[in-house]
Structure 1
Amino acid sequence: ARTFQILRGLITRHLAVPARHHFGYGDPRGSRALREEVAAYLRTARGVRCHGDQVVLTSGSQQALDLIIRAALKPGDPVWIEDPCYPMARAAFEGAGMRLIGVPVDGEGLDPAAGEARAPHARAVYVTPSHQFPLGVTLTMARRLALIDWARRAGAWIIEDDYDSEYRYAGPPLTALQGIDGAGRVIYVGTFSKALFPGLRVGYAVVPEALLDAVVAVRNRSDRFPPSLLEDALADFLREGHFSAHLRRARRRARDARDALVAVLNEGGLSVAAPDQGLHLVARRPDWTEDAPLLAAARAEGFGPRALSPLHVDRPPEAGLVIGFSGFPPEELASAARRWLARIGG
């Protein structure tokens, strides 16, 4: 509630004395004020090496991904994706006619050696290194370096989706891939949807200089420019320290919800580890052979997980549930989980 009150006040401030730039067509990258604030935040919080001119503001990470695909790739290009993978990213690449190569994910994240064995000359890779979706693992430093080395040798693009990076509960996060890339091969994608709320519809891409003009051209002919009024308010939100304060409050709430959910699921006989980062976890049980019935039972109890098996690309599907724990009080989440476990005999 506090965050909404602050944003309402900031938007009202800009409506009271509207700036002249609201009445014309702006930069396809978005307002300079917000781009500079995003760049400053990413340099400090994620080790991203960038300046405001490289930032392209979008209506969420999905639009950022679409712009990158249209600017950097062409139909039929081979692209590595994590296996299992975030389904909306997979849909974006498939919809654009890419040839997808599932690269297995294990406890160390995506395996670049396996990807190179399957498609050494792929044109791009989509990866979620901070908190892999859906398995929740973190890409190790050794594999980060190996992935960057492959991209440099292959002349490929690394699309780094750094969603959920703000929600780190134990220890400092690893520096973003973009921050350790010396060859300009990483395109960094982020969003305010998870950190604030999806209805805000503001995301961003940090684009290497070699690709920037192409991405801006696609944005210009498809969407012209983002909404400037909201951008000005959001720039103030970051500049005045409200975003950092919001994240501190949000992390505490998410951690409490995580702990309550993990405790109930483990009591019910599931194999669940408390994730060090992110807003979801993966639940498994040795006797589960399919997850569709588990999903139906969960939804009947007001519990809304996602089935793990459909998220696989080429690997044999594994039964499990991907369970988010943000947006609900701990006691409400725990109660729904108990009802579901009782229904399935947990």
Structure 2
Amino acid sequence: MTVATPALTIEIDRQHELPIYLQICERFRTAIAAGHLRPGDRVPALRGLATQLNTARGTVELAYTILVDEGYLQMRGAAGTFVSSSLPASVMRSSRARGVQDARAGQSTEGTGTPQRPGESRSGQAAPRQQAIAVAMSGEPRPLQPGLPALDAFPGKLWNRLVSRRARSGDRAMLAYPDPAGYRPLREHIATYLGLSRGVTCLPDQVFVTGGYRATLELVLRSLASPNDSVWFEDPGYLLARGFLDETGVQLVPVPVDGEGIDVERGTLLDGQARFAVVTPSHQSPLGHTLSLARRMALLDSAEKASRWIIEDDYDSEFRYLGRPLPALKSLDRHDRVIYCGTFSKVMFPGLRLAYVVVPERAVERVGRVAHSMNAGSPTLLQAAVADFIGQGHFARHLKRMRALYGKRRVLIVNALDQAFGKRLIVDLPPRGIQFAVQFAEGPDGPVDDVAVAARAREAGLAVLPLSIWYANGRARRTPRGLVMGFANIADADEAGRLARTLRECLDG
């Protein structure tokens, strides 16, 4: 049976700053949302569309690859490329329906209280986790440290010149108190970068520069949370965020994670009225899964219905080794419910202590007031140097080099672990990020004590973390046992082999 290709007119603007392949992506998303393309419809062939648009075949192929990664399209070999037959209904709602829902969302009532100041942990479980991760992720860098970019490959001389030039400029702004919202040119560069690379459309006024992800969470909660608000949190989920949230007075609701990311249906059953959801959709921390399109739409729909804020932690999405990085969850947000968080710690170096958050337009004034009351702006000198690093094109070139480098280094450590552990360790080649989780195979005596293994590894000079402590109930027998480790700083195969053998010795005790 021959499936006809619907008549589809795609126009591109060669004067637009958005690259052509991203314009093509956006045209297809819009056509699918409006119902002009339906599940099962064949889309134009690569060569045909390239001819129609008078552009390179590779440009169209790149756009199709992104749309396939996102779940909008399916490639069926010689049969052609089709709109995915498994698209959730919420993707295909009309633009008119979205407009009505947007208006309704704008009338929702937001919390304006301030959460409890950080203090003693209510659950009593955060302290051991915090101690473990503090040991592994602070101080002198150590082998296999999670979340640590390749410090040996950062262009240090170039960076020193940029900082020195700013320091010698005589600009008194470098010496004055920093703007609590962030250095304006850096906010402008961030807004442009997010629009081009992550599909996040925002104004510089929506961007706030912070001193790290913890500072971002504090700013958001002080601005938008009320005492005892409940928060969906991925289980397993990011240790530092869990520890901080546990101390702030909000009520954490652990929501299970599977191969498609956070289980939205389960979260609704656990607490359908939770005021926040903290998620890592592009690269789930620590398991590495990508939130599926169906789950993304379900999460956004549930947020709109419950007037829930979604805090999207997009911590290392720039590093994807199969295809291009997926657009952010924020790029699908039609109701302005997503608060987008990013950081320079993974793409440059953590010593910068620079992160940023994009807040919905309706929350800009409130967040701005809180930012000024906290008066915790980051040093203007470093912000200005980062702005120069981005504006002069060094940032984009650095990311390109790091993707290629990390793509090689991840293979080195996976091969070394396979050789050292054999069937005693379950290892998959990480498709994204600069860290990954591995799991121990259960032995004849039961589950491996990954906490003890990680402790022995720390004594041996390594910085791995036990996987089980990322779970809300880490000592339950059914909780997976393994290790979370970084790979960005592995220099060569010899070093990878040596580190893997050291870990194996730690397993054997």
TM range (shorter): over 0.9
2:148 paired residue number: none
SS across alignment from 1:64: helix
Query: Aligned to 1:225, which of 359, 373, 377?
Result: 377
- Distance, in Å, in 2 between the alignment partners of 1:2 and 1:83 is 33
% identical aligned pairs: 42
SS across alignment from 1:284: strand
Moved more, 314-323 or 267-276: 314-323
SS across alignment from 1:28: coil
Length-normalised TM-score, structure 1: 0.95
- Distance, in Å, in 2 between the alignment partners of 1:193 and 1:166 is 12
Query: Aligned to 1:292, which of 451, 458, 463?
Result: 451
Cα distance change, pair 209–297 in 1 and its aligned pair in 2 (3 A): same
Q: Displacement of 1:167 after TM fit?
A: 1.0
Moved more, 143-152 or 169-178: 169-178
Q: Displacement of 1:94 after TM fit?
A: 1.3
Q: Displacement of 1:49 after TM fit?
A: 1.3
2:97 paired residue number: none
Cα distance change, pair 334–72 in 1 and its aligned pair in 2 (3 A): farther
Q: Displacement of 1:338 after TM fit?
A: 1.6
On the 8 A contact 2:275/2:309 being kept in 1, the answer is yes
1:320 paired residue number: 482
Query: Aligned to 1:278, which of 412, 418, 433?
Result: 433
1:338 paired residue number: 501
1:169-318 equivalences under 5 Å are: 169-267=321-419, 268-269=421-422, 270-287=425-442, 288-314=447-473, 316=476, 317-318=479-480
Structure 1: gaps (5+ residues): none
- Distance, in Å, in 1 between the alignment partners of 2:182 and 2:333 is 25
- Distance, in Å, in 2 between the alignment partners of 1:227 and 1:187 is 24
The superposition leaves residues 113-141 of structure 1 with CA deviations (integer Å, 9 ceiling, x where unpaired) of 10001100000000001111111111011
On the 8 A contact 2:410/2:487 being kept in 1, the answer is yes
Q: Which has the higher contact order (CA 8 A, sep 6+)?
A: 1
On the 8 A contact 1:272/1:281 being kept in 2, the answer is no
Larger-Rg structure: 2
Cα distance change, pair 2–307 in 1 and its aligned pair in 2 (3 A): closer
Pairs aligned (count): 346
- Distance, in Å, in 1 between the alignment partners of 2:189 and 2:197 is 12
Q: Displacement of 1:24 after TM fit?
A: 4.1
- Distance, in Å, in 1 between the alignment partners of 2:226 and 2:448 is 38
* Counterpart residue identity of residue 152, structure 1: E
- Distance, in Å, in 2 between the alignment partners of 1:11 and 1:23 is 13
- Distance, in Å, in 2 between the alignment partners of 1:181 and 1:136 is 22
Moved more, 236-245 or 15-24: 15-24
Structure 1 outlier segments of 4+, above 6 Å: none
- Distance, in Å, in 2 between the alignment partners of 1:180 and 1:170 is 22
* Counterpart residue identity of residue 435, structure 2: H
Q: Displacement of 1:23 after TM fit?
A: 4.7
Q: Displacement of 1:324 after TM fit?
A: 1.2
- Distance, in Å, in 2 between the alignment partners of 1:95 and 1:345 is 36
Cα distance change, pair 301–256 in 1 and its aligned pair in 2 (3 A): farther
On the 8 A contact 2:453/2:506 being kept in 1, the answer is no
On the 8 A contact 2:309/2:338 being kept in 1, the answer is yes
1:163 paired residue number: 315
- Distance, in Å, in 2 between the alignment partners of 1:190 and 1:15 is 26
* Counterpart residue identity of residue 334, structure 1: G
Query: Aligned to 1:70, which of 208, 215, 222?
Result: 222
Is residue 114 from structure 1 mapped to residue 266 from structure 2 by the alignment? yes
Moved more, 180-189 or 246-255: 246-255
On the 8 A contact 2:154/2:348 being kept in 1, the answer is no
* Counterpart residue identity of residue 164, structure 1: D
On the 8 A contact 1:261/1:330 being kept in 2, the answer is no
1:132 paired residue number: 284
Is residue 151 from structure 1 mapped to residue 314 from structure 2 by the alignment? no
Length-normalised TM-score, structure 2: 0.65
SS across alignment from 2:377: coil
The superposition leaves residues 281-338 of structure 1 with CA deviations (integer Å, 9 ceiling, x where unpaired) of 1111222432122113323433321011111115843211111112231332331112
